[in-house]
């Protein structure tokens, strides 16, 4: 009974936060196809950027542990909770053999779930206020809230610089060793340019963004 109640509490609080995050994404975007994309990015961007950044630094900083990609994991709740299922389970019988029965379970991250619950309330309030204030004629825009469009543009460009730039550097210029600092910087700039250009296309809904 306690194990079921523990699981139900964990799932309910996590889903409350995920629903609040989805509601905020829905208030920000006007294009229905952009909603799932922004939702996925909001859930996993932090851990992906952390992983890419650490791997880039590990290329040039001797001794840096490239496995430290979980520093920002709490900002990606789905990843954090499923990668750190820290529970204490007591088994009746001889360990994990067939026929053993779980008689106790204890979850270690109630404080984190409480923080997610508070964050969910804040996100729902923000989604409500944004939805009331956004213009109806922006319903077809990728980002329906005009003041947040520059934020989206530069964040998207920075993310593309890190992800696309590092991917290109390691795939095409690694050779027999790690890519040089100059090559890495050029790839990061190229990735940032692609991200900026793509964001401008999405926001202006035209390919003529520099003319």
Q: What is the pLDDT of residues 78-92, one digit of tens each?
A: 888 777 655 554 445
The reported pLDDT for the residue numbered 138 is 57
pLDDT grade, residue 177 (50/70/90)?
A: low
The reported pLDDT for the residue numbered 39 is 93
pLDDT tens readout for residues 180-207: 888 889 999 999 999 999 999 888 878 7
Comparing CA positions, the residue from 191, 186, 133 lying closest to residue 163 is 191
Cα separation of 170 and 180, whole Å? 10
Select the more confidently predicted residue: 98 or 32. Answer: 32
Instruction: Decide: 23 and 123 in contact? Cβ < 8 Å.
Output: yes
Indicate the average pLDDT of the chain: 81
Please give the radius of gyration of the chain, using alpha carbons only, rounded to the nearest integer: 22
Cα separation of 108 and 80, whole Å? 13
Select the more confidently predicted residue: 30 or 85. Answer: 30
pLDDT grade, residue 136 (50/70/90)?
A: low
Is the whole model's pTM more than 0.95, yes or no?
A: no
The reported pLDDT for the residue numbered 91 is 47
Instruction: Decide: 24 and 130 in contact? Cβ < 8 Å.
Output: yes
The reported pLDDT for the residue numbered 202 is 87
Cα separation of 206 and 75, whole Å? 33
For the segment 103-111, the average pLDDT, to the nearest whole number, is 69
Cα separation of 97 and 91, whole Å? 10
pLDDT grade, residue 95 (50/70/90)?
A: low
């Amino acid at each position: 009974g306690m194990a079921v109640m523990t699981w139900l509490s964990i799932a309910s609080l996590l889903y409350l936060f995920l629903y609040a995050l989805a509601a905020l994404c829905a208030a920000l975007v006007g294009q229905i196809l952009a909603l799932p994309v922004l939702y996925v990015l909001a859930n996993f961007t932090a851990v992906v950027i952390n992983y890419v950044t650490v791997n880039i630094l590990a290329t040039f900083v001797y001794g840096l542990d490239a496995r430290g990609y979980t520093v920002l994991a709490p900002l990606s709740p789905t990843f954090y909770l499923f990668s750190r299922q820290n529970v204490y389970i007591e088994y009746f019988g001889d360990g994990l053999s067939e026929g053993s029965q779980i008689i106790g379970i204890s979850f270690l991250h109630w404080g984190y779930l409480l923080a997610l619950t508070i964050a969910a309330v804040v996100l729902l309030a923000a989604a409500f206020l944004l939805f009331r204030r956004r213009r109806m004629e922006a319903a077809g825009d990728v980002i329906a809230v005009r003041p947040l469009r520059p934020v989206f543009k530069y964040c998207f460009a920075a993310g593309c610089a890190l992800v696309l730039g590092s991917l290109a550097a390691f795939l095409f210029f690694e050779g027999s060793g790690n890519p040089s600092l100059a090559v890495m910087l050029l790839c990061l700039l190229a990735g940032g340019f692609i991200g900026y250009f793509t964001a401008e296309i999405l926001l202006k809904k035209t390919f003529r963004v520099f003319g």
